[in-house]
Structure formats: structure tokens, C-alpha cells
Amino acid sequence: MSAPTLFTLGGTISMRLVDGLAVPTLDADGVAGLLGGTPPVTAVEIARVGGSEVDFTHLRALHAAMTAAVAGGSGGLIVTTGTDSIEEVAAWLTYTGPWTVPVVVTGSMTPGGEPGSDALANLRAAVAAVATPVSTEPVVAFAGALWLGRGVQKVSGTGLAAFATPGRAALGVVTGTAIAVEQPAPAPATTLGAPGAVIARVPLVGASMAADDTALRAVAAGGDAVVVAGNGAGNLPPALAAAAAELAAAGTLVVVATRAADSRTAAVYGYRGGGGLLVEAGVLLADRITPHQVRVFLTVAVSRGLTGPALRTALTEHLESLT
């Protein structure tokens, strides 16, 4: 198998301490060099930014570079990024697939350029995951485990075991270069293909107790769709729900996912703001997917020119394919 290609976006794995604060310092060769000796990867830098600085321009450049690497015979694709962006980067890579070679996303919780960082272990796990794939979809390698990329969430802001797929076990466990499969990977989800040229605007609003409609109405104006991080099984406070229903009736695609960790929604409640009434009003409940992941999916779909009923159908088909 040809050597894998390492693409770097920056993040903590690329950082050193400067005046006591972690800042992106290592370029792609520097990150690859953390593996020691002659790195078993070809390194390509896409960006050198903090995790919360990553944007869709970076992800478009990443996708183009990865596509070129596959065409050039790369044996696998490893992406390092800040842990603040791993959930969305993994989702982007899933939705813009499928890929014909293994894709692994990783990073670190402590600066990669400092002694004792978890960067080395995570990079080694990523290399092992390319050599022994556990899924045809992108996976996240972190803290000795392999997680399904489209379901992964950051579950700790500071702990080394920062990622999980709530409600689903890890796909595998990594010990050195050996991978023990924990459970079979699910069937691949419906994807969209390469991002298109359209620049999408898909805002995300969070529900909270007694929230009014001000934020939702403001951000929905001029947007291609709007995502709401709802409560429980996909419920909203009454004023927020009324605005969501009104926007849906006017033709805006309004998608409600849940802020609950397991990402499960259901149209079971009929009180004011309940998910059942939202569905009757034309709001789409998104099950088995986080609000941030829904936003990434819709951003890719809009970039490919999907609008109106076609956009809703694309998301519905994707949701139906999730297992």
C-alpha cells in the first residue's frame, strides 16, 4: 500500500507554549515529525489555525487537496485539526464522500510541540487506522479508540478522552499498531459528493428555557435554511416554536435536532412547542445527528445547488440512511 497523506489544519496538535499560552506553531512537516524518525506519511499543510478558527474555506481546500492525493495514489488520508472542530470536520468529510481510501481524523488535547503530549499516541493510532480500516466512512482516532466520524462528539473540554459517540460504542481500540474491532461499522450513510461552488448560509440557534423568537427570526432572514438545537426529543419553548412554524410555512427549511447527548428525537409531544406539533407545522425533526452535524450537511447540500424541496429531500434521505 502507498504511504498515507497527512493534512494539517493546525489545532492543539500543532501548538507550542508561547508566554504560557498555546499557539499554532508546527507546520505539516513538524506535525508529521512528531512520529519520529522518517515519518510514514507525506505531509501537506492546509492551514495553521486554532480549532475554533477553522471555517468552510479551509474545508473546501482540504477536500480539494485530499481528492488530488487520492488521484495521485495515496494509500490513505489523515487529517489533523483542532479538537474544537473535529466533530464538524469529520462530518464534512463524511458528507462530501464517499472516499476510496481510508480517512482518519485526529488531533490532541495538549500541545503537540510540548513534552508528554497525547499527540504522538493519537497520530500513531491514526496511522494504524489507515493500515487496518474499521469502516469505509471517515473515523476519528483519539485516546486509543476509533469512533465513527459522522457520530462523534466532543464530550470533554479538557480531558484526554475527549471524544465519543454517545449511544454507540467505539468501532475499535488501538494498542500500538494493533486494532481490536469492538463492533462492526454500520452501513455507510447517504452522502453528497464534492462541495459545490455556492457559498451557503445556514445559521444555528440554541433553545433555552423561555427563549423568545428574536434570535431565530433574525438569523433566519436571508438564510438558506436554519437549524435549531432543541430540547429533549426535539421540543422548543412556545415562542420559539411559533416562529419555527411560521418560518416553515413561509418556505424556510427549519430543522430541529436535539442538544441531548444521544441525538435522538421523536415527534411524541403535543403541548405548545412539542415535537409532534412542530412536525405537523412542517418543521423537520433530525434524528441520530447533532445540530452541528445537520448544519454541516445542509451547508454542503446548498453548496451543490440544492434548495427548497430538493434540499429537504436530500436531508431526509440522509437521515433515513443513519443507523
Residues 208 and 173 grouped into a single domain: no
pLDDT score of 46:
98
Residues 24 and 114 grouped into a single domain: yes
CATH number at residue 259: 3.40.50.40
The pTM of this model reads: 0.97
Residues 175 and 215 grouped into a single domain: no
| 77 backbone dihedrals φ, ψ, rounded to 5° | -130, 120
pLDDT score of 192:
97
SS3 10: strand
Distance CA 76, CA 149 (A): 15
Distance CA 301, CA 132 (A): 31
CA 265 from chain centre, in angstroms, equals: 19
Q: Kindly state the cell numbers that stand for 263.
A: 441525538
How does DSSP classify residue 3? Answer: P
CATH number at residue 34: 3.40.50.1170
pLDDT tens readout for residues 187-226: 999 999 999 999 999 999 999 999 999 999 999 998 999 9
Strand 226-230 to strand 172-175: parallel, antiparallel, or no bridges (unpaired)? unpaired
Total domains in the fold of the chain: 2
pLDDT tens readout for residues 161-188: 999 999 999 999 999 899 999 999 999 9
Residue 186 lies in a domain: no
Is pLDDT at 83 greater than 70 in this prediction?
yes
pLDDT score of 1:
63
Residues 240 and 272 grouped into a single domain: yes
Residue 39 lies in a domain: yes
Residues 173 and 228 grouped into a single domain: no
Is pLDDT at 78 greater than 90 in this prediction?
yes
Residues 128 and 220 grouped into a single domain: no
Residues 171 and 250 grouped into a single domain: no
- Write out the residue range of the structural domain in which residue 215 sits: 204-321
pLDDT tens readout for residues 302-321: 999 999 999 999 999 999 99
Query: To 10 degrees, what angle do helices 291-303 and 308-321 make?
Result: 130
Residue 246 lies in a domain: yes
Residue 283 lies in a domain: yes
Residues 170 and 264 grouped into a single domain: no
Residue reference for cell 499498531: 177
Residues 174 and 208 grouped into a single domain: no
pLDDT tens readout for residues 120-174: 999 999 999 999 999 999 999 999 999 999 999 999 999 999 999 999 999 999 9
Residue 196 lies in a domain: no
Residues 94 and 233 grouped into a single domain: no
Query: What does the chain come to in residues?
Result: 323
Q: What is the mean pLDDT of the chain?
A: 97
Rg (CA), the chain: 20
Residues 30 and 162 grouped into a single domain: yes
Residues 14 and 85 grouped into a single domain: yes
* Cβ–Cβ under 8 Å, residues 232 and 268: no
Nearest C-alpha neighbor of 212 from the set 234, 232, 235, 242 = 242
Is pLDDT at 323 greater than 90 in this prediction?
no
Residue 77 lies in a domain: yes
Is pLDDT at 64 greater than 70 in this prediction?
yes
